[in-house]
């Protein structure tokens, strides 16, 4: 019991606590040396701290547990740091009490990797089920060099975990628009937020065009649906994939392209750019213009979306390796 709690305290926590206690820890090889908090000596290096947080005092023979007690980590810290684990896909995952605890942990890990000072995520998007229960959150960081970092966290029985949403995933903005009979589907949360802001009943699958098949489209049962697509090939293919997913669910499907309203719409431009461009037009007027967009359903329906091949490698010149059944199963998993 005592050992288990000691192990959950990191060496950096110990060093920080020793520093607070005036023990002046200094790095020494892989570990540290410090003044011992368990006896009243003068030496600044009687306490040895190993890289994995084990301690021993060469003067008074205090061990790890004695030192932790003296610096009061043994009683306080383990209870905080020992969060319960749950098993997801066969692996232990920390169960946090609430959304904010996971956000804190994820934020720390994003910046730990980068080695720079951390800041809160630039975008926080929350996903709810039809009853309004908060199920998942998507965090996005944008960096000066144009890089983006996205993380998903989700609710799990009894708390929150740092894991992506499970299929079928809820559509973004689901509870807000459940009652509407006419619903717009667009590509991406940025566009959904922009259209939502001007009063359009809009939803989007998480991760935009990447994986619409993982979303739960059954909520569109009996609704009239307008799919708003970007005018590049990927955007139109997204429209076709969504169209195929909902054609037997929705009662009426239209497909619109905002370039019909704004011919100067940039090729990678989306609904958010359109709303921004016409920020001085009142929302009611913009909604009328959106409703008046011509239908491109037939053009979109004619698109043949090829399943993206899994990376194909030319193996003709390589020796053949036969896989046993277990190896094959491992590769599929
Ligand atoms: Zn000592």
Q: What pTM does this model have?
A: 0.68
* C-alpha of residue 76 to centroid of ligand 1, in Å: 21
* C-alpha of residue 2 to centroid of ligand 1, in Å: 20
Whether residue 229 sits in one domain with residue 142: no
* C-alpha of residue 45 to centroid of ligand 1, in Å: 10
- Chain centroid offset of residue 189 CA: 13
Whether residue 223 sits in one domain with residue 153: no
* C-alpha of residue 80 to centroid of ligand 1, in Å: 27
CATH number at residue 294: 3.40.1360.10
Higher pLDDT, 213 or 6: 213
Helix axes 73-81, 11-20, angle to 10 degrees: 140
Whether residue 149 sits in one domain with residue 199: no
Query: In this predicted structure, which of 19-23, 184-188, 249-253 has the lowest mean pLDDT?
Result: 19-23
Whether residue 284 sits in one domain with residue 191: yes
pLDDT of 312 above 80:
no
Note whether 279 and 263 are within 8 A (CB).
no
In a domain, 230, yes or no: yes
Query: In this predicted structure, which of 43-57, 141-155, 314-328 has the lowest mean pLDDT?
Result: 314-328
Mean pLDDT, rounded, for 200-213: 89
> Which residues have C-beta under 5 Å from ligand 1, the single-atom ion?
36, 38-39, 57, 59-60, 62
| DSSP letter string, 200-220 | --EEB-TTTTS-GGGB-GGGG
78 pLDDT band, cuts 50/70/90, is: very low
In a domain, 113, yes or no: yes
* C-alpha of residue 291 to centroid of ligand 1, in Å: 78
* C-alpha of residue 32 to centroid of ligand 1, in Å: 15
* C-alpha of residue 62 to centroid of ligand 1, in Å: 5
pLDDT of 4 above 70:
no
Whether residue 229 sits in one domain with residue 178: yes
From 29, 54, 81, give the residue that closes a domain.
Answer: 81
In a domain, 126, yes or no: yes
| Per-residue tokens: 319 | 């020796």
- Confidence (pLDDT) at 219: 95
In a domain, 8, yes or no: yes
- Confidence (pLDDT) at 53: 85
Whether residue 57 sits in one domain with residue 32: yes
Whether residue 288 sits in one domain with residue 182: yes
* C-alpha of residue 39 to centroid of ligand 1, in Å: 4
d(CA 26, CA 15): 9
Burial class of residue 231 (count of CB atoms within 10 Å of its CB; 0-12, 13-18, 19+) = middle
* C-alpha of residue 38 to centroid of ligand 1, in Å: 5
Higher pLDDT, 163 or 322: 163
Mean pLDDT of all residues belonging to the chain = 86
Mean pLDDT, rounded, for 230-240: 90
Omega before residue 175 within 30° of 0, cis: no
* C-alpha of residue 78 to centroid of ligand 1, in Å: 23
* C-alpha of residue 270 to centroid of ligand 1, in Å: 66
* C-alpha of residue 47 to centroid of ligand 1, in Å: 6
* C-alpha of residue 75 to centroid of ligand 1, in Å: 20
Question: Measuring CA to CA, how many Å separate 258 from each of 253, 255, 271, 300?
Answer: 16, 10, 7, 14
Whether residue 93 sits in one domain with residue 65: no
Whether residue 71 sits in one domain with residue 107: no
SS3 state of residue 131: coil
* C-alpha of residue 18 to centroid of ligand 1, in Å: 13
Question: Measuring CA to CA, how many Å separate 197 from each of 202, 214, 222, 223?
Answer: 10, 26, 25, 21
* C-alpha of residue 82 to centroid of ligand 1, in Å: 28
Across-strand partners of 150? 140
32 Ramachandran zone, left/alpha/beta (phi>0; psi -120 to 50): beta
Whether residue 297 sits in one domain with residue 179: yes
* C-alpha of residue 10 to centroid of ligand 1, in Å: 21
In a domain, 262, yes or no: yes
* C-alpha of residue 72 to centroid of ligand 1, in Å: 15
SS3 state of residue 165: coil
* C-alpha of residue 81 to centroid of ligand 1, in Å: 26
In a domain, 327, yes or no: no
CA-closest candidate to residue 295, choices 251, 263, 252:
252
- Chain centroid offset of residue 53 CA: 32
Whether residue 272 sits in one domain with residue 258: yes
From 135, 161, 187, give the residue that closes a domain.
Answer: 161
* C-alpha of residue 60 to centroid of ligand 1, in Å: 4
46 Ramachandran zone, left/alpha/beta (phi>0; psi -120 to 50): alpha
Q: Which residues of 248-276 are buried (b: 16+ CB within 10 A; e: fewer)?
A: eebeebbbbbbbebeeebeeebbbbbbbe
Name the domain count of the chain.
3
From 107, 129, 161, give the residue that closes a domain.
Answer: 161
d(CA 52, CA 31): 8
* C-alpha of residue 237 to centroid of ligand 1, in Å: 70
Q: Which of 2-6, 291-295, 323-327 has the highest mean pLDDT?
A: 291-295
* C-alpha of residue 243 to centroid of ligand 1, in Å: 72
* C-alpha of residue 64 to centroid of ligand 1, in Å: 11
In a domain, 166, yes or no: no
| Residue 278 belongs to domain spanning | 174-301
Whether residue 143 sits in one domain with residue 186: no
- Confidence (pLDDT) at 310: 57
| DSSP letter string, 244-307 | HHHTTTSSEEEEEEGGGT-TT--TT--HHHHHHHTTTS-HHHHHHHHHTPPP-HHHHHT--PPP
In a domain, 313, yes or no: no
């Amino acid at each position: 019991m005592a050992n288990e709690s000691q192990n959950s305290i990191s060496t950096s926590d110990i060093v920080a606590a020793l520093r607070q206690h005036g023990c002046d820890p200094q790095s020494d090889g892989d570990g540290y040396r410090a003044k011992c908090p368990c006896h009243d000596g003068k030496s600044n290096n009687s306490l040895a701290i190993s890289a994995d947080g084990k301690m021993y005092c060469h003067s008074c023979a205090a061990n790890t547990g004695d030192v932790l007690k003296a610096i009061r980590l043994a009683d306080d810290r383990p209870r905080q740091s020992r969060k319960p684990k749950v098993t997801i896909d066969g692996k232990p995952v920390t169960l946090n009490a609430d959304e904010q605890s996971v956000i804190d942990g994820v934020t720390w890990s994003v910046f730990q990797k980068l080695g720079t000072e951390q800041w809160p995520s630039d975008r926080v998007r929350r996903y709810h089920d039809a009853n309004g229960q908060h199920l998942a959150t998507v965090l996005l960081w944008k960096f000066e060099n144009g890089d983006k970092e996205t993380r998903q966290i989700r609710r799990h029985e009894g708390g929150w975990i740092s894991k992506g949403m499970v299929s079928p995933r809820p559509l973004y903005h689901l509870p807000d628009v459940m009652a509407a009979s006419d619903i717009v589907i667009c590509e991406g949360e940025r566009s959904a937020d922009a259209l939502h802001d001007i009063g359009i009943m809009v939803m989007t699958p998480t991760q935009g065009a990447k994986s619409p098949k993982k979303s739960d489209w059954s909520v569109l049962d009996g609704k009239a649906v307008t799919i708003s697509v970007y005018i590049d090939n990927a955007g139109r293919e997204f429209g076709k994939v969504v169209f195929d997913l909902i054609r037997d669910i929705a009662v009426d499907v239209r497909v619109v392209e905002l370039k019909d309203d704004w011919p100067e719409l940039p090729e990678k431009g989306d609904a958010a750019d359109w709303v921004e461009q016409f920020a001085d037009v009142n929302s009611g007027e913009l909604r009328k213009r959106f409703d008046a967009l011509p239908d491109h359903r037939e053009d979109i329906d004619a698109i043949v979306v090829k399943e993206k091949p899994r990376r194909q490698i030319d193996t003709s010149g390589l020796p053949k390796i036969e896989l046993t059944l277990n190896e094959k199963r491992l590769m599929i998993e």
